[in-house]
Amino acid sequence: MTFIRKARCALAPLAAASALAFMAATPAHAKYEAGVQAYMNGQYSQALDIWRRFAVAGDVRSKKILGDVYSGMTLEGAKEAATPLEEIPVDNVQALVWYTLAAYHDFTAYQTPSASEVNARILAEQRLPDIRARMSTSNVSKAEKVVSQTFEAGSAYDLYRLGQMYQKGAGLEKNNAKALQMYALAKERGVGAASAAYEFLEPLMTSREIDDALESAAEWQPPLPPEHEGKTPQQEELERLKRELEEIKMADALQAVSDIDVELIQRALNALGFRAGVVDNKLGPATREAIRRFQYATVAKNLDMSEQDKQAVVTGVLTPRQTVELFKDASAGEHPMSQYVYGIMYVRGIGVEQDGKKAVNWLEQAAEHDLAIAHYALGVVYRDGTTGLNEVEPDERKSAYHLAQASALGYKPANDALRRLSFEYTRDIQ
């Protein structure tokens, strides 16, 4: 198994920290040092494998150092990776998982924890606020889910400790219902401290919260081992083939984006406040600077990107996908001309997959602002119908209405289209 696959497997629910805690007292120490030595030699995948095995076995120093390396820290004195595949990518979700497991490590299985073990737990707890500050809310939730599953897969005492974490909001988002659920499960399994915690917490909750917690406890099942989770190889292969086909189809659609006039791009940039200046259909300095501002704005809040990576995105020339995003954002901002362009993109499959329903939706929003060309486009859509997803069937009545609206708003091509529609309609009746 390659390092990359090993790194992915680490996201699966881990064995509980206390399950093999007895191993942490002596052999794990030696293995932890072996991991450090492998890392210093540039054998990163070997180091990760050693630390992960003994972190799962209950070694707090291994948990803490996994948080370090996944958060992007480099151990002083380390050589470069032995091979390019062994480079350790920054993974804030993994870093938060391991720091949390280290920060809330339980020393009750130890006769006397060493100073370095206690120090590892303290340092991990100190680093939690910093790593959380880097992450989006969704990524924090992913990490918390893995932490919760880790404890749920463990002993009855682990369930009790998980209840404490939920009750205090320590390492996990505060949730009294989840805390009471864990206390109920732990006390059923003979943990005396869980009974006392349950009796203390229950009066502080509403009857609805208590009922929900007990119902969840009754339905609870331990998390499945990693080998029983995820998709089968056949499912993964089918999904890969599907993605490849979609990419091929989308490549043709994106190619057509280059035909969009600079004028329309300038209008969309101005509508979003990126100050492209005078709309002159020329890709001049002001327009390029506006594009740079837009490009930076698309990645500014991405906590997984370094500032250097963000600056690399700022080129002043829109990629096809960025062009699609520009019109999508401007359309959501209720800019009528961008809504018209975005609707036409769905009609023709320019940068997006053809979708009649979405096309009509955006064109109708543009038409609500009395944009004549949007009414004209709707008239053509209802005259000819659409292909692709969510096909729109021809509707002469709707076509005539929108063409008449476009004509009344002064869009001359609508006059001829309306006359032809009336002629065809009369001929069909005859």
CA atoms within 13 A on the CB side of 181: 19
Residues 16 and 98 in one domain: yes
Residue 330 confidence (pLDDT): 94
Q: Per-residue pLDDT for 245 more than 60?
A: yes
| Structural domain contains residue 248 | yes
Residue 2 confidence (pLDDT): 35
Q: Which candidate, 65, 164, 167, 76, places its Cα nearest to that of 124?
A: 65
Domain CATH number, residue 375: 1.25.40.10
| Structural domain contains residue 225 | no
Range(s) of the domain holding residue 399: 239-429
What is the arithmetic mean of pLDDT over 319-340? 92
Residues 247 and 203 in one domain: no
Residues 42 and 126 in one domain: yes
Largest pairwise CA distance in the chain? 99
| Structural domain contains residue 276 | yes
Phi, psi of 261 (to 5 degrees): -65, 145
Whole-number Cα distances in Å, 270 to 219, 242, 265, 314: 54, 38, 9, 18
Q: Per-residue pLDDT for 225 more than 60?
A: no
Which residue carries 């032809």 as its tokens? 420
pLDDT band at 36, cuts 50/70/90?
confident
Residue 10 confidence (pLDDT): 37
Whether 425 contacts 396, CB under 8 Å: yes
Q: Per-residue pLDDT for 15 more than 60?
A: no
Residues 156 and 21 in one domain: yes
| Structural domain contains residue 234 | no
For 116-264, where are the E strands, in sequence order?
none
Q: Is the pTM of this model over 0.75?
A: no
Q: Per-residue pLDDT for 72 more than 90?
A: no
Q: Per-residue pLDDT for 6 more than 80?
A: no
Q: How far apart are CA 49 and CA 323, in angstroms?
A: 43
Q: What is the pLDDT of residues 180-216, one digit of tens each?
A: 999 999 999 998 899 999 999 999 999 999 999 999 9
Residue 78 confidence (pLDDT): 59
CB neighbours (10 Å) of residue 99?
29
Residue 369 confidence (pLDDT): 93
CA atoms within 13 A on the CB side of 222: 17
More confident residue, 317 or 226: 317
Which residue carries 């680093």 as its tokens? 127
pLDDT band at 271, cuts 50/70/90?
very high
Phi, psi of 216 (to 5 degrees): -65, -40
Cα angle 309, 314, 319 (rounded to 5 degrees) comes to: 105
